[in-house]
């Protein structure tokens, strides 16, 4: 059974019961897309393996699904005493220990982002030409 924050005894750490979800990816904020071209550039990220894009509180993020090279098999940090400051600042107060994360939007494939792009910035329709248009000359 999953231990909850409320079940912790004084001195216990939630990390002792976790599989180190926070050490299996990193996410970086990216510029919020404001055009079809911006979304198409973001779609490029999704053409690569082990990445996704998510939006949380109107901020767009590139998430890279990759395990920390210092994560041990027992799910503990192999360099805990000398870990980077970003790790030291991380708190279990809002970690995803009990869930898989909740995003306003999540894109896991380039096709998903393409569909979003088409919905938000549809391609303008091209003018249809008359069937009686003059054919182009054939060049010899």
Domain extent at residue 38: 19-120
What is the C-alpha to C-alpha distance for residues 63 and 67, in angstroms, rounded to an integer?
A: 12
* Listed range (43-47, 61-65, 84-88, 89-93) with the worst mean pLDDT: 89-93
Q: What is the pLDDT of residue 72?
A: 96
Strand partners, 106: 54
Q: Angle at the Cα of 100 (from 99 to 102), degrees rounded to 5?
A: 95
For residue 74, which of 18, 25, 26, 22 has the smallest C-alpha distance?
Answer: 18
* Listed range (52-56, 107-111, 131-135) with the worst mean pLDDT: 131-135
**48 assigned to some structural domain:** yes
How do residues 29-53 score in pLDDT, each as one tens digit?
Answer: 999 999 999 999 999 999 999 999 9
The predicted model scores a pTM of: 0.77
Domains of the chain: total: 1
Dihedral over Cα of 22, 14, 89, 61: its sign: positive
**55 assigned to some structural domain:** yes
How do residues 89-106 score in pLDDT, each as one tens digit?
Answer: 988 877 777 766 678 999
* Listed range (15-19, 45-49, 68-72) with the worst mean pLDDT: 15-19
**56 assigned to some structural domain:** yes
Mean of the pLDDT values across residues 9-32? 89
Q: Angle at the Cα of 71 (from 67 to 74), degrees rounded to 5?
A: 120
**66 assigned to some structural domain:** yes
**1 assigned to some structural domain:** no
The two tokens of residue 1 are 């059974």
**23 assigned to some structural domain:** yes
Q: Judging by DSSP bridges, how do beta strands 105-107 and 26-30 pair with one another?
A: unpaired
């Amino acid at each position: 059974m999953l231990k909850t924050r409320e079940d912790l005894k004084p001195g216990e750490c939630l990390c002792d019961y976790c599989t180190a979800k926070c050490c299996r990816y990193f996410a970086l904020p990216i510029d919020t897309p404001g055009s079809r071209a911006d979304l198409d550039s973001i779609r490029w990220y999704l053409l690569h393996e082990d990445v996704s894009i998510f939006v949380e509180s109107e901020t767009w993020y590139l998430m890279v699904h990759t395990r920390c090279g210092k994560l041990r098999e027992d799910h503990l940090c192999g360099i805990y005493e000398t870990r980077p400051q970003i790790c030291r600042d991380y708190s279990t107060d809002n970690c995803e220990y009990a869930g898989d994360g909740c995003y306003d939007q999540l894109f896991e494939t380039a096709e998903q982002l393409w569909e979003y792009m088409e919905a938000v910035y549809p391609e303008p329709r091209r003018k249809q030409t008359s069937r009686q248009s003059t054919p182009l000359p054939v060049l010899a």
